[in-house]
Amino acid sequence: MTINVLAIGDIANVMKTISKFTKKSKIHIINFPKDGAGVFTYADGVELFDSYKVSKQVKKINEIKDNFDVCITMGTGERIAYLADLNYISYYVGNDIEAPRFVKNSKEPWANEALHKLNFLERMFYKNSFNNAVVHIAGTWVYDYLKKYDKNAIRMDRISIDPDLFNAKIEPLEWKKSKFTFFSPQRMGIQKGTDLLWLALKLCRSDFEVIQINWFDEGTSEELKTKKQLLDNMPPQVRLIPLIKRTDMPKYYSFADAILGNMLVGSHALVEFEGVMCNKPVIQYSNPNMKILIDGKEIESPFLPHLNEPKKIAEIIDKVVESKEFRDRLFEKEIEFVKKVGEPVKCAEWWDDFFEEDAKKYRSIKKNSSRIKIQARILFFSFANRLYLKKIKNKLIHSFSTSYNIRNYKTSSK
């Protein structure tokens, strides 16, 4: 019997990749409308909500939910599943739990400015949607944040890399290359350690080029300020290129001699694994205190450096550029690690078993709460959001009124 899984939201195309390899379950993904970078980064062949309105998204889920046995959510998919009264699994891969919406003025560890500035009722709503999940799952460094809010959370460190898209046989770009070339595909910002990388590049003695996608974290005024600083202080080795489609990424990996990953977090993400799968050595800060748990056993990450001081980063960069022996040795360790942690079939088997267990335990995707309770959630969400909009409106009115009074005062004082 096939288990039909509804995935609401798909950050970094995680569910799309897993869905290619599951055998006992069939995953149908419905993602949020494409905008901004999503036009380039979303996988093809995925159903999208046709509206940004939460009410229409909930209506869509209510129309199709009877076709499924299990629900899994990512990102704001959690609130949609909550409002649709589903039994849902919440899966976290980033700042949705690092800086959760249910915490007052929540901010990421590296930031000074809050990522979410929600009112009390909004935070209460998101806390309820978090608590309403049947289980919470996260891996590696994200799990450390999740367990602060759920001691019974499940850890899943395996990630799935699509070998059809990322492999050593990909034809490279037909560009001319005059020197050793790094490819840096991730967004730029403090969260990615770009500021540390910039400092490191200025300390390097070897000759090379960095192809960097012109893509920044821009969610807060602090991030916009960082963007300007990074652009103003960009090292001469860096060449910016426009955003590229996900399906074209392998050509860039294949063209480069090595890949630059995250220099802040201390653990790998998809970018580092994709680069290794395309047969390239990857430089990424790896915190030796962050262990990876696979099949109940701790394994250490081979990525370097183990300190994210600019001097240490520069030393590894120079070694990778200047020594083929060092590059090859580093890559061999990385590919062995990636095959253990990023093996898509093993990852899919874990999810197959988990979905099967969930389907047996809950027997229905529907929670079957009372109609009064469901309507109360919807009204509560609507009221909380309107209260927030009213707050913004009052601030704008107050700001306009203050400006108007100042101008009148200046005029009358002349």
Query: What would the mean pLDDT of 237-263 be, rounded to a whole number?
Result: 96
Answer whether residue 407 is part of any domain. Answer: no
- Based on the fold, state whether residues 286 and 362 are members of the same structural domain: no
pLDDT digits (tens, 9 = 90+) for 354-413: 999 999 999 999 999 999 999 999 888 988 876 544 444 444 444 444 343 434 433 333
Structure confidence at residue 44 (pLDDT)? 84
Answer whether residue 24 is part of any domain. Answer: yes
pTM score, two decimals?
0.89
- Based on the fold, state whether residues 278 and 371 are members of the same structural domain: no
Answer whether residue 411 is part of any domain. Answer: no
Could you give the percent of the chain with pLDDT greater than 70? Answer: 93
Structure confidence at residue 399 (pLDDT)? 44
Question: Residue 120's domain is classified under what CATH number?
Answer: 3.40.50
Answer whether residue 361 is part of any domain. Answer: yes
Q: Which residue has the higher pLDDT, 388 or 144?
A: 144
Tell the residue number behind the tokens 């201390």, with chain if given. 266
pLDDT digits (tens, 9 = 90+) for 201-248: 999 999 999 999 999 999 899 999 999 999 999 999 999 999 999 999
Cβ partners under 8 Å of residue 331, min gap 6: 276, 279, 280, 281
Range of the domain at 334: 180-341
Structure confidence at residue 95 (pLDDT)? 80
Structure confidence at residue 2 (pLDDT)? 96
On whether the CB atoms of residues 121 and 380 are closer than 8 A, the answer is yes
Query: What is the DSSP secondary-structure string of 318-375?
Result: HHHHH-HHHHHHHHHHHHHHHHHHS-HHHHHHHHHHHHHHHHHHH-SSB----HHHHH
Query: What would the mean pLDDT of 12-32 be, rounded to a whole number?
Result: 96
- Based on the fold, state whether residues 210 and 133 are members of the same structural domain: no
Does residue 135 surpass a pLDDT of 50? yes
Cβ partners under 8 Å of residue 129, min gap 6: 78, 79, 81, 82, 83
pLDDT digits (tens, 9 = 90+) for 80-125: 999 999 999 999 997 889 999 999 999 998 999 999 999 899 999 9
- Based on the fold, state whether residues 224 and 355 are members of the same structural domain: no
Question: Residue 269's domain is classified under what CATH number?
Answer: 3.40.50.2000
Structure confidence at residue 340 (pLDDT)? 93
Query: What would the mean pLDDT of 35-47 be, rounded to a whole number?
Result: 80
Answer whether residue 170 is part of any domain. Answer: no
**Residues β-bridged to residue 26:** 4
Answer whether residue 400 is part of any domain. Answer: no
Does residue 251 surpass a pLDDT of 80? yes
**Number of domains within the chain:** 2
Confidence of residue 336 (pLDDT cuts 50, 70, 90): very high
- Based on the fold, state whether residues 328 and 359 are members of the same structural domain: no
- Based on the fold, state whether residues 353 and 309 are members of the same structural domain: no
Answer whether residue 330 is part of any domain. Answer: yes
Cα 46 to Cα 249: distance, rounded to the nearest angstrom: 19
Structure confidence at residue 387 (pLDDT)? 53
- Based on the fold, state whether residues 237 and 331 are members of the same structural domain: yes
On whether the CB atoms of residues 128 and 82 are closer than 8 A, the answer is yes
- Based on the fold, state whether residues 87 and 236 are members of the same structural domain: no
Query: What would the mean pLDDT of 192-196 be, rounded to a whole number?
Result: 97
- Based on the fold, state whether residues 330 and 364 are members of the same structural domain: no
- Based on the fold, state whether residues 240 and 367 are members of the same structural domain: no
Among 34-48, 119-133, 188-202, 346-360, the least confident range: 34-48
Of 300, 323, 341, which closes a domain?
341
| H/E element, 224 | helix 221-232
Cα 95 to Cα 216: distance, rounded to the nearest angstrom: 16
Does residue 414 surpass a pLDDT of 80? no
- Based on the fold, state whether residues 56 and 187 are members of the same structural domain: no
Map residue 376 onto helix, strand or coil: helix
- Based on the fold, state whether residues 219 and 297 are members of the same structural domain: yes
Answer whether residue 175 is part of any domain. Answer: no
Reading the block at residue 145, the tokens are 């944040």
Structure confidence at residue 410 (pLDDT)? 37
Q: Which residue has the higher pLDDT, 44 or 182?
A: 182
Of 341, 357, 379, which closes a domain?
341
